[in-house]
């Protein structure tokens, strides 16, 4: 694959204006004084290199930079286009940071599929002031929560980065729009599976070209366009078929409490029906259990916080409730490693 084979779809537009490869390069070079990293990425995409640097979010481990094949990114864009039936000249909105794979892939999809791409600063409510409607948009769950009154402007909305809260899913159920939660990571070049929240789906379904297996309860991804070898994840799943699975939680975050494995994300899903405040379940050291689960709120602890515990099994109930002034986030999702570090500091300072 050379720069000659990186074709810009004839339908591609940027803010309503058509570009071919030559005119797009000139436009990006002239626009660099705006300090817009999107233009830098487009120029990097159109150069002679076969690969492009991608940085992982760092929310489940130390951030790392790796080389992604442009050819694989093109195929990922094509697979997404097939799944969501995207058409040339459909309007797409980029409102995610270009520094991570989700933002990069929105640009690649527009170039490969011939979408009309609009760029919006990645704030918490990116479509509030827009007078336009969009066929395709990607957001984080946090952006979605803030954008609920305005999502009628979007035909197909994909959500990624972290699980969508159960209370929010209830709001989306039976919505005439298509709102999809995605599963993926930097290494899979954005999503490899989706579930339709508007239809209340519980399981993720593979996009074209992808299949799944379960290895010791963890998801194994087969995607030949990404890698000759299968990709083994640290995600605990219930495998439904070779194209469907139910996500349970990250193996990294399992809390071993007295020999019983507790999945934070599973508990959070239940409790999210009762709390408006942002919160997380975290494991901290315990002299008797080895580790215990605690509930951590952001900003303030609701007065009736413990009332929701009756919906949990005895071993799932948090042993204590804490509050941190603010959660650190990476690309919209809670940085669990930093949260645990800050929580342990708070506990140690109190002791």
Residues 265 and 237 reside in one and the same domain: no
pLDDT of residue 84: 96
> What pLDDT, on a 0 to 100 scale, did the predictor assign at position 349?
87
Q: What is the CA radius of gyration of the chain?
A: 21
Listed residues 195, 227, 250: the one ending a domain: 250
Q: Is the CB of residue 1 less than 8 Å from the CB of residue 70?
A: yes
Q: pTM to 2 decimals?
A: 0.80
Residue 121 burial (10 A CB sphere; 0-12, 13-18, 19+): exposed
Same domain, 260 and 231: no
Residues 159 and 265 in one domain: no
- Answer yes or no: do 263 and 210 share one domain: no
Token output for 127: 């479509």
Enumerate residues 6+ apart whose C-beta is below 8 A from 334. Answer: 59, 162, 278, 280, 327, 328
Task: Please give the pLDDT value at position 17.
Answer: 96
Range of the domain at 281: 254-350
The CATH number linked to 48 is 3.40.50.12780
Residue 233 CA to residue 226 CA, distance in Å, equals 14
Residue 259: give its domain's CATH number: 3.30.300.30
Listed residue (123, 77, 128) closest to 96, CA to CA = 123
**Residues 259 and 202 reside in one and the same domain:** no
User: Helix (H, G, I), strand (E, B), or coil: what is residue 220?
Assistant: strand
Do 296 and 225 share a domain, yes or no? no
Q: Using an 8 Å Cβ cutoff, are 101 and 130 in contact?
A: no
| Boundary (domain end) residue, out of 216, 250, 284 | 250
- 140 and 175 belong to one structural domain: yes
Domain count, the chain: 2
State the Cα torsion 236-206-54-147 to the nearest 10°. Answer: -90
CA 174, 179, 181 angle in degrees (round to 5)? 120
How remote is the C-alpha of 167 from its chain's centroid? 18
Residues 200 and 214 in one domain: yes
The Cβ of residue 349 has, within 10 Å, a number of other Cβ atoms equal to 7
Find residue 218's DSSP bridge partners: 215, 236
pLDDT tens for the chain, residues 1 to 351 = 444 556 789 999 999 999 999 999 999 998 876 667 899 999 999 998 999 988 876 555 566 788 999 999 999 999 999 999 999 999 999 999 898 899 999 999 999 999 999 999 888 889 988 899 999 999 988 888 888 889 889 999 999 877 777 777 878 877 667 999 999 988 899 999 999 999 999 999 999 999 999 999 999 999 999 999 999 999 999 999 999 999 988 888 889 888 788 889 989 989 998 998 899 999 999 888 889 999 999 999 999 999 999 889 888 999 999 999 999 987 777 888 899 999 999 999 887
For residues 234 and 259, membership in a common domain is answered with no
Residue 6: predicted pLDDT: 63
Together in a domain, 11 and 106: yes
């Amino acid at each position: 694959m050379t720069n000659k084979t990186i074709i810009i779809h004839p339908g591609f537009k940027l803010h309503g204006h058509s570009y071919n490869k030559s005119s797009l390069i000139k436009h990006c070079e002239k626009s660099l004084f705006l300090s817009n990293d999107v233009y830098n990425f487009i120029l990097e995409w159109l150069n002679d290199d076969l690969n492009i640097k991608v940085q992982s979010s760092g929310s489940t481990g130390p951030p790392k930079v790796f080389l992604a094949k442009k050819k694989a990114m093109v195929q990922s864009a094509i697979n997404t286009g097939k799944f969501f039936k995207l058409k040339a000249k459909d309007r797409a909105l980029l409102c995610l940071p270009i520094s991570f794979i989700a933002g990069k892939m929105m640009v690649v999809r527009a170039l490969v599929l011939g979408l009309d791409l609009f760029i919006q600063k990645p704030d918490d409510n990116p479509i509030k002031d827009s007078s336009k409607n969009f066929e395709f948009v990607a957001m984080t769950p946090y952006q979605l929560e803030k954008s609920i009154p305005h999502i009628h402007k979007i035909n197909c909305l994909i959500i990624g980065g972290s699980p969508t809260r159960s209370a929010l899913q209830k709001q989306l159920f039976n919505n005439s729009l298509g709102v999809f939660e995605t599963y993926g990571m930097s290494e899979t070049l954005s999503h490899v599976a989706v579930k339709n929240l508007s239809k209340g789906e519980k399981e993720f379904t593979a996009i074209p070209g992808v299949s799944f297996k379960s290895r010791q309860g963890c998801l194994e991804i087969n995607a030949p366009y990404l890698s000759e070898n299968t990709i083994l994840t640290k995600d605990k799943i219930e495998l439904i078929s070779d194209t469907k699975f139910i996500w349970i939680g990250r193996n990294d975050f399992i809390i071993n409490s007295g020999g019983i494995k507790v999945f934070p994300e599973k508990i959070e899903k239940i409790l999210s029906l009762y709390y408006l405040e942002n919160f997380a379940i975290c494991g901290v050291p315990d002299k008797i259990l080895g580790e215990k689960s605690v509930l951590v709120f952001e900003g303030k602890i609701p007065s009736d916080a413990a009332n929701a515990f009756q919906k949990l099994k005895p071993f799932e109930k948090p042993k204590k409730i804490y509050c941190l002034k603010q959660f650190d986030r990476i690309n919209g999702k809670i940085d669990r490693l930093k949260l645990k570090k800050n929580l342990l500091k708070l506990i140690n300072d109190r002791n």
